[in-house]
Structure 1
Amino acid sequence: MTPTSLFEPIGHESLADAVVAQIEELIAAGILKQGRKLPSERDLAESLNVSRPKLREALHALEERGLVQIRHGEGTFVAALTGQAMLPALLSLYGRHEPAFFDYLEYRREQEGFAARLAAQRATKSDKARIAEILQEMERAWREQDSEASRETDIALHTAIVDASQNATLIHMMASIYDLTRQGVFYNRDFLRTIDGTGKELFDQHVGLGQAVIEGDEARAETAALEHINYVEKSFRMGIEQKQREAMAEKRRLLSRSASK
């Protein structure tokens, strides 16, 4: 039977402990991720078929276990479970040192290749529908040259594929990594879109990756993920080399002007 709600009604014999168990299961599976706001107390109690006092009891138990944060006046949120991938000082340091960026890509390449293969094996109908919807939105963003929507759909696609791997550890760890990507810590994604003038190559790579997962082609999905990151790495190396050539050319021009005076 297809679920109609994230939460399932609980029988009166279970109550608070069953609420705790159900929310814990959703967190452990990576369905509820850190920072996610839970439904309002009223909606949650109705979905779970429990009284609001019993719901509060369960939420307080989850808070004591460090799994949720109850913010008065704001609601209940899934707690930070994996912590920050890097502290601000290290992020700043990485942002100034190019080798760190390529270490980041190396890590992503291996994890995303693994995730794509698992996703092609394990993706459910819902996972595939989600990926297909993101690809449609990605195409719209590309055609309209909407850079903000392109960035968001890029991260959304990679996240959806990792989620479809059904590997909870991978889901939680990569969520932290994608936060760095969303913050633009390592690079400005817009640069990639300018390489071929339109961003078409980047778009085609994402479509190929998403379709391979949808079609359940494990080898093609893994290869597409690896080749995508290889493209990103190659493109940025080219960009760095071009900047270096331009800097050297400018120094030669300045030296030549100085010598002619």
Structure 2
Amino acid sequence: MTRKSIFDTIGHESLAGAVVAQVEDLIASGILKQGSKLPSERELSETLGVSRPKLREALNTLEERGLVHTRHGEGSFVAPLTGEAMLPALLSLYGRHEPAFFDYLEYRREQEGFAARLAASRATKADKARIADVLKDIQRAFDEDDSVLAQESDFALHAAIVDASQNATLIHMMASIFHLTKQGVFYNRDFLKSIDGTGERLLEQHIELGNAVINGEPERAHRAALDHIDFVEQSFRSGLEQQRREAMAEKRRLVSGR
């Protein structure tokens, strides 16, 4: 059985130029994102139906255009496309600046609401299957109290829905935002779960969001995305306020000596 690939066989009349065009199309559409590793030269050559020299010619062109870079001994990768959303100094500042977190949530609320609406209208059979698989992981993480899988599947669901929007600009921009999220600069899932209690509310919201997209209900998906981010914001505000109250209570106790 022939192995499926995101690459199409190229006719002999096209060669290097067609390889370049195909990779550029995969990048522009958001199928290949920054950091994505391309198959090995041997595999690409066989899949595309071009010689190794022609393939190298195409990769050199892509590298000259700043779309691909090659690491000796590791292979070829899609180059950084959107750059870092923030430099390390600003990231550090944001980590110490509470209002920045809520600015981040405000931005995500609008972008993910938009993405969910589009995804519910545009998701393909493959997109829906991907989202359904992630929902299974989310349920399993909850049932087994697996915090690592819970965080991974949380990110995976949001990324899958953005990808299903079929909007390349949104896909690339949100990939940069999700990168920050994974670094833990703006989002601490363990803290959120401690506020939620068992994490059941998060589970319910993710299932509602995923199913709305799978069932092709744009308004329901849009509302589910907004409700989820609103819950995150309200929970963090409540949790931070509780931390402040506890800190003040401890200081009063120390002053009173009791």
CA contact (8 A) 1:180 1:186 kept: yes
**By how many angstroms is 1:64 displaced?**
0.1
Alignment of 1:213-228 (within 5 A): 213-228=213-228
Distance in 1 (alpha carbons) for counterparts of 2:47 and 2:137: 30
Q: Unpaired runs of 5+ in structure 1?
A: none
Q: Secondary structure at the match of 1:173?
A: helix
Alignment of 1:48-127 (within 5 A): 48-127=48-127
Q: Secondary structure at the match of 1:77?
A: strand
Q: Secondary structure at the match of 1:242?
A: helix
Equivalent residue, structure 2, for 1:147: 147
**By how many angstroms is 1:254 displaced?**
1.0
**By how many angstroms is 1:196 displaced?**
3.4
- CA displacement, residues 202-244 of structure 1 (integer Å, 9 cap, x when unaligned): 0110000000000010000000000000000000000110011
Distance in 2 (alpha carbons) for counterparts of 1:112 and 1:197: 25
Distance in 2 (alpha carbons) for counterparts of 1:12 and 1:104: 49
Equivalent residue, structure 1, for 2:158: 158
CA contact (8 A) 2:196 2:235 kept: no
**By how many angstroms is 1:194 displaced?**
2.0
Q: Secondary structure at the match of 2:196?
A: coil
**By how many angstroms is 1:192 displaced?**
1.5
Q: Which runs of 4+ in 1 moved over 3 A?
A: none
CA contact (8 A) 1:10 1:19 kept: yes
| One-letter amino acid of the counterpart of residue 99, structure 1 | P
TM-score normalised by structure 2 residue count: 0.98
Distance in 2 (alpha carbons) for counterparts of 1:153 and 1:195: 20
Matched positions, count? 256
Could you say what the CA RMSD is over the residues aligned between the two structures, in angstroms? Answer: 1.0
Residue 244 of structure 2 corresponds to residue 239 of structure 1: no
| One-letter amino acid of the counterpart of residue 235, structure 1 | S
Distance in 2 (alpha carbons) for counterparts of 1:81 and 1:247: 44
Distance in 2 (alpha carbons) for counterparts of 1:147 and 1:205: 17
CA contact (8 A) 2:30 2:163 kept: yes
Equivalent residue, structure 2, for 1:4: 4
Equivalent residue, structure 2, for 1:188: 188
Distance in 2 (alpha carbons) for counterparts of 1:146 and 1:185: 22
Residue 32 of structure 2 corresponds to residue 32 of structure 1: yes
**By how many angstroms is 1:198 displaced?**
1.4
Distance in 2 (alpha carbons) for counterparts of 1:139 and 1:191: 19
What is the percentage of aligned positions where both structures have the same residue? 73
CA contact (8 A) 1:192 1:202 kept: no
After the TM superposition, which of the residue ranges 192-201 and 109-118 deviates more from structure 2? 192-201
- CA displacement, residues 86-139 of structure 1 (integer Å, 9 cap, x when unaligned): 000000000001000000000000000000000000000000000000001111
Q: Secondary structure at the match of 2:34?
A: coil
CA contact (8 A) 2:34 2:81 kept: yes
Equivalent residue, structure 2, for 1:44: 44
| One-letter amino acid of the counterpart of residue 179, structure 1 | H
CA contact (8 A) 2:195 2:239 kept: no
Q: Unpaired runs of 5+ in structure 2?
A: none
CA contact (8 A) 2:16 2:55 kept: yes
**By how many angstroms is 1:157 displaced?**
0.4
Q: Secondary structure at the match of 1:195?
A: helix
| One-letter amino acid of the counterpart of residue 100, structure 1 | A
- CA displacement, residues 143-188 of structure 1 (integer Å, 9 cap, x when unaligned): 1111011101000000000000000000000000000111111231
TM-score normalised by structure 1 residue count: 0.97
| One-letter amino acid of the counterpart of residue 58, structure 1 | A
**By how many angstroms is 1:38 displaced?**
0.4
